[in-house]
Every structure is written in structure tokens, then in C-alpha cells.
Amino acid sequence: MNNIEKVTNEIIAFIRNYYQENHLKGAVIGISGGKDSAVVAGLFTKALGSENVVGIWMPCHSKDEDYANAKLIADHFNFELKEFDLTNLYDNYVAQIKGCNIVNDDNLIDANINIKPRLRMSTLYYYAAMLSSLNKGVYIVPGTSNKCELYVGYFTKGGDNISDIQVLADLTVDEVISIGKYIGVPDKVIHKAPDDGLSGKTDEEKLGVKYSEIAEVINSDNPNVSKEVHEKIKKLHLGNLHKFNIATYRKNE
Amino acid sequence: MNNIEKVTNEIIAFIRNYYQENHLKGAVIGISGGKDSAVVAGLFTKALGSENVVGIWMPCHSKDEDYANAKLIADHFNFELKEFDLTNLYDNYVAQIKGCNIVNDDNLIDANINIKPRLRMSTLYYYAAMLSSLNKGVYIVPGTSNKCELYVGYFTKGGDNISDIQVLADLTVDEVISIGKYIGVPDKVIHKAPDDGLSGKTDEEKLGVKYSEIAEVINSDNPNVSKEVHEKIKKLHLGNLHKFNIATYRKNE
């Protein structure tokens, strides 16, 4: 992307316009310690002022390193970082489900993982309601998904795909990195291999393909990737389209 | 609606086709004791067989009467009804949030209420994953929103609007009732005033308008409702459109 400055300014203007048109006040952003939420938080502080951005660090059996990165991002962009620890809630939820004992939990690693982004979504919306009430103005929840993740459906339905405004959804991972560098996201955060902080694997290990390969498939009709990788990406893409469009019966009267 | 039989058969065929095309097995439906989930459950038992439908009753400070109705529905359509009590999880969640103490909770009645459908959504998807693993076939989550609710945005984003297939979304409340009567949903359920089971108010009290008035506005360019009611419905409709379309930045390269 050769026009980083232009795109960055467009995003900032897009945020400001949306807030003005809809008479909104602030943003509540889940800060994971990864680059996507860092870039979103940076862009929103530039658009709205740091005082109108609140980050929420929501650990759930999380790594100290992720908290250190979340703190680094908040300090850098000078927004308030609140903590809401989901570990107990999550543990009690899973224990109650296991108590129902209808199936061996070895098969349910992904089902357990999906609870976490859903609790995070619910918590972000709660904070948005609390801050709206406290500060007499509407806070909304920006999404942090990028175009590569969305293309292969790498998100939890009813979890991290639930948001009120999206600014990275049309940007591939390399473009997000370019903007991150341009607005000064700390190097340590930019260069961290993206992971969900949930499964112990990096995103690319989980997906079985690289984000650069997904970007290549998105950007080119004749992508420079192996046939096997191309097939894998197409399969992920088609297999997850249902997450975007709910099958709906319509009357044929 | 004069063609109840036709629409009912079309919905049943729509469900069967979707399941066949996507190689799916079963449905996990949140049973509230109200008519919408009852009609959805009835239609899915007719399409897939009762043995492939599992209802989940998820009380959260709920009324005994609602459980009695949920049981009545499950017995009538002969599907399994499981219970997952969300009361403790919800209470612990709210207590933890109150512990953060950033705002007086009197303003947060709706924020508290919104937690419940979000926990229910998360629970339904967990059961779908468990049952898929147990029964070696994919279970999905049907939605229960009707056209009137969707028109005025009467649902919790990230809660009861998250589903995999919708069969009532193009039907007004009176049409849902007609289908319910036609497929034999118990009278007691059909005639219960719809409420969220959460706020202690009926839907119509919360909305300030009647479902029949919403249907009139949906169906007619010149609806037979007072000017005041028409304005109120239009305001709800426009004010909640953001729940359907997330504002998204797109590159203008």
C-alpha cells in the first residue's frame, strides 16, 4: 500500500463523520495485546481524542505478555485501560456445561474457545452502556477484524464479529501493519505473531495458511500461491460464508 | 394470511432443503415458553423429525409459568427438552460488573437485560457443538425472531439475533399465530402476551406500540394507525437499522 497516509486520514475522517452524524461520544475497545486492536485503538484516539477511548483488557487464562502489550498500547496512545477478568466466569460456565456431561470434552476445545469471545463481546457492550450512562453520551464498540480474517471466516459468530463500526474490514494484514507503523504502534506489538490468546496456537498455525497468502488470493485473480494453499483458502472462504448470511425463508406469495 | 397451509409446507421444505444441501443433522432451539420458539420448534420437528430437535430451557430468574409452557411445547411436539440454568452465571457476571462500580446501576436495567440473551446465544452454540460431536452430525441454531420484531429492531445485538437459519423473519406476528394454530401449538402458548421474560413487561408495553400496528405499517403504504403510532414505529425502525448494517470503512483507491 503506497498511500498509507491517505488511507489513515480517510479512516480518521470516516470515524469522525460517523460520530458526528449519529451524535456519538466514545469508543469501548477490547485490547488483546495484538496488532489489530492496537491499530483500531490508535485510529480512534486520533479521531476522537484519547479521552473518548476506553480500552478493556479481558483476560481469560491469558498470558502476562499479552497484558504487558495491552498496557504498552494504552500508555502509548494515552487512553484509559480497564481490566475485567473473565477467568472465573469462564471457568464456572465450562464447569456447569461439563456437569451436563452429555459428551466427552476432548471434542469440545473449539466450543470452549468460542465462549471467550462471546463473553468479551457481552462485556464490551456492558461497558459501552455503563460509560454512556456515566458520561452522558453514546459509546459504541468498534470491531477489530481485518479483511484476511473476514475472508476466511476466522472469527467467532456472535463474538468478535459483533461490533458497531469497522475500520479494518477492507484492509489486509500487511496494510494493517503499514498503518500501525505509520501511526506509531509499538514495534513489539507490530511484530508479535498474531494468535487468538485462547488456543495456544498462532492464527496461521490454526488456519494452516499464511495471512500473506490469503492477501494474495484476495488481491489477485491469479494468485502466486501453491495450488494446495489456494484450494485450502477457497475452502475456508466458501465454508464460512454462512457466518455472513443467515439462510432465511421468504414468502413467495 | 389465507394460504397458511402453503406457507407452512414451504417452510418445512425450506428447512429440509437447507439441511440436505449442507449435510446437517439437527437443531438446537432455545425454548422460552413463548409462541415464536414454539412455532419454530414445531416446524423443525415436522421438517427433521422430533429426534433431531433438542430444546434448551435456559431460565435466568424466570417464571415457573414459562417453564410449564416450555414443557408443554416439548411434550406436544415430542422433542427432548434440556435445562441449563443461567441464574448463577448471570448473578456472578452482574456482581462482578457492579464491583467495578463505575456507574449507578439504576441506569443499567437494559444493559443487565441484554446479558441474558447473549448468555443464551453462547449456550445454544455450545449445545450445538456438543450434540454435533455426540451424534456425529452437524446441529445448527434456528433463530426465532419474527418480521415485526426485526422491523423495529426488538432484539439484542449479539444475542437473540444470532442464528444459522431463520424461518419466521418474513412473517408478521399474526401470521406466526396462524401457523402456530395450524400446526397445533397449545392454545395456552398461542394466547400468552409476548414478553421477554426478562423485564417484567410485555413486549408491547416495552415498545409502546402493538404488534398489529407494526404489521399494519409493514404491510401498507397508508397504514390504518394513528399518526403518533406511525411516527413511533418509523422512529424505532430507523433508530435500529444500525443493528443490521455495521458502518464499514472501504478504501477509495
The tens-digit pLDDT sequence of chain A (253 residues) is: 669 999 999 999 999 999 999 999 999 999 999 999 999 999 999 999 999 999 999 999 988 889 999 999 999 999 999 999 999 999 999 999 888 767 666 668 788 889 999 999 999 999 999 999 889 899 999 999 999 999 999 999 999 999 999 999 999 999 999 999 999 999 999 988 888 776 778 889 989 999 999 999 999 999 999 999 999 999 999 999 999 989 999 997 5
Cβ contacts (< 8 Å) between A250 and chain B: which residues?
Answer: 170
In tens, the pLDDT along B127-160 reads 999 999 889 899 999 999 999 999 999 999 999 9
Q: Report the residue of B130, B164, B238, B242 to disrupt the A interface, i.e. the one with the largest count of A CBs within 10 Å.
A: B130
Q: Do B249 and A157 touch (CB under 8 A)?
A: no
Q: What are the helix (H) ranges across chain B? A: 4-21, 35-48, 64-77, 87-100, 109-135, 147-151, 173-183, 187-190, 203-207, 211-219, 227-239
pLDDT of B2 over the 70 cut: no
- DSSP for residue B243: G
- DSSP for residue A202: B
- The model's pTM is 0.95
**Which residue's C-alpha cell is 462482578?**
B96
Q: How confident is the model at residue B113 (pLDDT cuts 50, 70, 90)?
A: confident
Q: Do A111 and B119 touch (CB under 8 A)?
A: no
Cβ contacts (< 8 Å) between A102 and chain B: which residues?
Answer: 130-131, 134
Q: Do A165 and B246 touch (CB under 8 A)?
A: yes
Q: Do A164 and B246 touch (CB under 8 A)?
A: yes
In tens, the pLDDT along A131-165 reads 998 898 999 999 999 999 999 999 999 999 999 99
Cβ contacts (< 8 Å) between B251 and chain A: which residues?
Answer: 7, 10, 170-171
CA A51 – CA A80 distance, rounded (Å): 8
Contacts of A168 (CB under 8 A, 6+ apart): A36, A39, A40, A143, A144, A145, A146, A147, A176, B249
For residues B195-224, give the mean pLDDT.
89
Contacts of A89 (CB under 8 A, 6+ apart): A119, B89, B92, B93, B96
Q: Report the residue of A5, A126, A170 to disrupt the B interface, i.e. the one with the largest count of B CBs within 10 Å.
A: A126
* Beta pairing class for B24-30 and B53-57: parallel
The nearest alpha carbon in chain A to B125 belongs to: A111
- Per the CB < 8 A criterion, the answer to whether B98 and B105 are in contact is yes
In tens, the pLDDT along A24-54 reads 999 999 999 999 999 999 999 999 999 999 9
CA B101 – CA B123 distance, rounded (Å): 27
Q: What is the DSSP string of A110-130?
A: HHHHHHHHHHHHHHHHHHHHH
pLDDT of B205 over the 80 cut: yes
| Strand-by-strand arrangement of the A80-83 sheet | A80-83, A53-57, A24-30, A138-140
CA-angle at A153, arms to A149 and A159, nearest 5°: 90
From the list A151, A163, A164, A160, the residue with the least C-alpha distance to A196 is A160
From the list B34, B68, B47, the residue with the least C-alpha distance to B176 is B34
Distance from CA of B185 to the nearest CA of A (A): 20
Largest CA distance in chain A: 59
Cβ contacts (< 8 Å) between A115 and chain B: which residues?
Answer: 122, 126
**Which residue's C-alpha cell is 449435510?**
B23
From the list A163, A168, A128, the residue with the least C-alpha distance to A150 is A168
- Per the CB < 8 A criterion, the answer to whether A207 and A154 are in contact is yes
pLDDT of B253 over the 60 cut: no
pLDDT of res. A194: 81
- DSSP for residue B52: G
Q: Do A108 and B133 touch (CB under 8 A)?
A: yes
Cβ contacts (< 8 Å) between B131 and chain A: which residues?
Answer: 102-103
